Structure 1
């Protein structure tokens, strides 16, 4: 299986602070990848560089065969809208729009008619346990419901890659477990790769592979399923 996304020799500095110091990572098509590391290690910067939100000072980012770190802003915006999905800690839903229009927003921004976009968005409400909440605004939703709406918005375009930055960080443990199960299950069903920053080892364990970032470098990686199998065999 080929790499859908890769970063090579990524460097990013903020004044005297080096956030990335030559980090390299590749994500396979359909792979679920968790990025972990201590505060200030560069893990969120790495995600944002891979997603085209931040341009690296050096190195390159490849989406398939296309180098995206050198794209113009219009092309990069279209790529983020049409081929990437985003789930953030706070959800970042538009408070003035009902849930169904928040989900449909990427489609409408791509030029789809509102009626068609909303109809396509509504298809996600059942699978994500949101039936009956289509017309509620974000302020009328619980934290878990709002985050599931954010997941629907990220997946409605059937993206190549979903980027999630601490998607369970603002949720209680039980709700966070439900949200991460939905996010990983639906990403797998679509064949979308997932790149997720998390500080929670339990959340990361839902992924196929975990990489550890420290001082702007990838310093370790492991596969949770293989690690669990080895631990079970030694008991």
Structure 2
């Protein structure tokens, strides 16, 4: 399996606190990696560094073999828009836009005409069980529906990697299971890799691999067969 995203020797400190102490991680083609650990273990810091949201104090991040952590802000912002997709705990949908325009927004921001962007966005509604909800605004959606819209938005740009930060944290167990099944299946079928932070072992078990983080270091690693 070829490596899509990698971090080597990643170090991050906040004052006297070491969030990451020299972490190495590799994410393969169509890989699904869950990062787990107790509060303050460094798992969210690791995701944010891999996603180009924050920069490491030491070490490097490579996307398909090219170093990206040292890019200027404009190029790094473009990288996040074009090659990464994001799913957050609370979806972060724009309340004034209907679902189809929330999904199309990353494409519109890249200069794709609105009509074309919406057509491309609608392609994700049936696979994610959202048929008929294209014109509903976030306030008219359930929590699970809103997260499925967020997944569609993340996949609309055809990213190399989707990053999910506690994507089921605001959902009940049954809805969370449904959402994570859709997330892992849809990312794999789209050709994207998935990096997910979760505190829930049942959610993490839907991924092909689990990375356990404690005190800023890798404390364990599990691998599964994903059908």
Is the TM value for this pair above 0.5? yes
Distance in 1, matches of 2:112 and 2:225, equals 40
Task: Output one character per residue of 1:92-142: Cα deviation in whole Å (capped at 9) or x when no partner.
Answer: 111111111100011011110000001110111111111111111111110
TM-fit CA distance, 1:64: 1.1
TM-score between the two structures when normalised by the length of structure 2: 0.98
CA shift for structure 1 position 144: 0.3
Query: Aligned equivalents of 1:190 and 1:124: distance in 2?
Result: 10
Pairs within 5 Å for 1:72-83: 72-83=72-83
Map of 2:190 onto structure 1: 190
Number of the residue aligned with 1:149: 149
Q: Distance in 1 between matches of 2:224 and 2:216?
A: 23
Structure 1 residue 162 displacement after superposition = 0.4
Name the residue aligned to 2:128.
128
* In structure 2, C-alpha distance between the alignment counterparts of 1:30 and 1:223, rounded to whole Å: 14
Alignment-derived partner of residue 52 in structure 1: 52
Q: CA deviation at 1:33?
A: 0.4
**Structure 2: distance between partners of 1:76 and 1:29:** 21
Q: 1:225, 1:104 → 2: CA distance?
A: 33
Give the deviation of 1:29 after TM superposition.
1.1
1:212 aligns with 2:212: yes
Q: What is the Cα deviation at residue 184 of structure 1?
A: 0.6
Cross-structure match for 1:29 = 29
What is the root-mean-square deviation of aligned Cα atoms in Å?
1.0
Runs of 4+ off more than 6 Å? none
Q: Deviations over 1:156-202 (max 9, x none)?
A: 11111000000000000000010001001111111210000011111
Q: Are 1:109 and 2:75 an aligned pair? A: no
**Residue 225 of structure 1, CA deviation:** 4.0
Q: 1:7-46 residue pairs with structure 2 within 5 A?
A: 7-46=7-46
Could you tell me how far 1:224 is from its partner in structure 2? 3.3
